Amino acid sequence: MTIGLPVRRSMDMENMEMETLTGFVEHIIYRNEDNGYTVLNLVCQEEEVTCVGVFHVISEGETLEMTGSYQSHPSYGQQFKMESFKVKAPEDIMSIERYLGSGAIKGIGVALASRIVRRFKQDTFRVIEEEPERLVEIKGISQRKAMEIAEQVEEKRELREAMIFLQQYGISLTLAVKIYQTYGQEVYRILKENPYRLADDIQGVGFKIADEIAGRVGIRTDSDFRIRSGILYVLLQAAADGHTCLPKEELTRRAVELLGVDGAYIEKHYMDLTMEKKLMMKETEGQIYIYSAVYYYMEVNTAAMLKSLDVSYDVPDIEIEQRIRQIEKSTGVELDALQAEAVKEAVKNGLLVITGGPGTGKTTTINTIIKYFELEGMDMFLAAPTGRAAKRMSETTGYEARTIHRMLEVNGGVEGNAGFDRNEQNPLETDLIIIDEMSMVDISLMCALLKAVVAGTRLILVGDVNQLPSVGPGSVLKDIIDSQVFHVVRLTKIFRQASQSDIVVNAHKINRGEPVVLDNKSRDFFFLKRYEADVIISVVIQLIRQKLPKYVDAQPYDIQVLTPMRKGLLGVERLNTILQQYLNPPDRNKAEKEYGQGLFREGDKVMQIRNNYQLEWEVRSKYGIPVDRGMGVFNGDMGVIRCIETFSETMTVEFDEGRMVEYSFKQLEELELAYAITIHKSQGSEYPAVVIPLLSGPRLLMNRNLLYTAVTRARKCVTVVGNEGTFQEMIRNENQQRRYSGLKRQLTEV
What's the pLDDT band for 750 if we cut at 50, 70, 90? low
Q: Render pLDDT for 78-128 as a digit per residue (tens, 0 to 9).
A: 899 998 888 776 667 777 777 777 666 777 888 888 888 888 888 887 888
- Segment 483-496 shows an average pLDDT of 90
As a whole number of angstroms, the distance between CA 579 and CA 675 comes to 7
Q: Is the pLDDT of residue 413 over 80?
A: no
What torsion do the CA atoms of 176, 178, 179, 184 make, to the nearest 10 degrees? 110
Residue 562: name the closest of 493, 626, 638 by CA: 638
Q: Render pLDDT for 156-180 as a digit per residue (tens, 0 to 9).
A: 777 666 766 776 676 766 677 778 7
Q: Is the pLDDT of residue 455 over 50?
A: yes
Most confident of 30-34, 151-155, 572-576: 572-576
Q: Render pLDDT for 133-153 as a digit per residue (tens, 0 to 9).
A: 888 888 888 888 888 888 877
Q: Residue 430: in which H helix or E strand, if any?
A: none
The count of other CB atoms within 10 Å of the CB of residue 588 is: 5
Torsion angles phi and psi, residue 287, rounded to 5: -110, 130
- Segment 314-326 shows an average pLDDT of 93
Rg from Cα positions in the chain: 31
Work out the mean pLDDT of the chain and round it to a whole number. 87
- 559 or 211: which leads in pLDDT: 559
- Segment 642-650 shows an average pLDDT of 90
What's the pLDDT band for 11 if we cut at 50, 70, 90? very low
Contact in structure between 548 and 539 (CB atoms under 8 Å): no
- 478 or 632: which leads in pLDDT: 478
Q: Is the CA virtual torsion 91, 111, 130, 61 positive or negative?
A: negative
As a whole number of angstroms, the distance between CA 84 and CA 103 comes to 24
pLDDT of residue 1: 31
- Segment 540-554 shows an average pLDDT of 94
Contacts of 529-537 with C-beta under 8 Å, sequence gap 24+, read 529/722, 529/723, 529/724, 530/721, 530/722, 530/723, 531/695, 531/722, 531/723, 533/569, 533/570, 533/695, 534/569, 536/570, 536/693, 536/695, 536/721, 536/722, 537/570, 537/575, 537/578, 537/693
DSSP state, residue 495? P
Q: Render pLDDT for 328-379 as a digit per residue (tens, 0 to 9).
A: 999 998 999 999 999 999 999 999 999 999 989 999 999 999 999 999 999 9
Q: Is the pLDDT of residue 416 over 60?
A: no
DSSP state, residue 590? S
Contacts of 218-223 with C-beta under 8 Å, sequence gap 24+, read 219/194, 219/195, 221/259, 221/260, 221/261, 222/261, 222/265
Q: Is the pLDDT of residue 585 over 60?
A: yes
687-694/560-563 β-pairing:
parallel
Residue 685: name the closest of 381, 477, 471, 510 by CA: 471
As a whole number of angstroms, the distance between CA 630 and CA 617 comes to 5
Q: Is the pLDDT of residue 539 over 80?
A: yes
What's the pLDDT band for 436 if we cut at 50, 70, 90? very high
Out of 388-392, 487-491, 535-539, 558-562, least confident range: 388-392
As a whole number of angstroms, the distance between CA 488 and CA 479 comes to 12
Torsion angles phi and psi, residue 573, rounded to 5: -65, -50
What torsion do the CA atoms of 465, 746, 380, 408 make, to the nearest 10 degrees? -100
Q: Is the pLDDT of residue 21 over 50?
A: yes
Q: Is the pLDDT of residue 589 over 70?
A: yes
Amino acid (one-letter) located at 381: F
As a whole number of angstroms, the distance between CA 326 and CA 320 comes to 10
As a whole number of angstroms, the distance between CA 199 and CA 216 comes to 16
Q: How far is CA 200 from CA 173, 194, 195, 523, in A?
A: 20, 11, 10, 55
What's the pLDDT band for 414 if we cut at 50, 70, 90? low
Percent of the chain residues topping a pLDDT of 70: 93
- 50 or 56: which leads in pLDDT: 50
End-to-end CA gap in the chain: 76
687-694/714-722 β-pairing:
parallel
Out of 169-173, 384-388, 559-563, 694-698, least confident range: 169-173
Out of 242-256, 267-281, 614-628, least confident range: 614-628
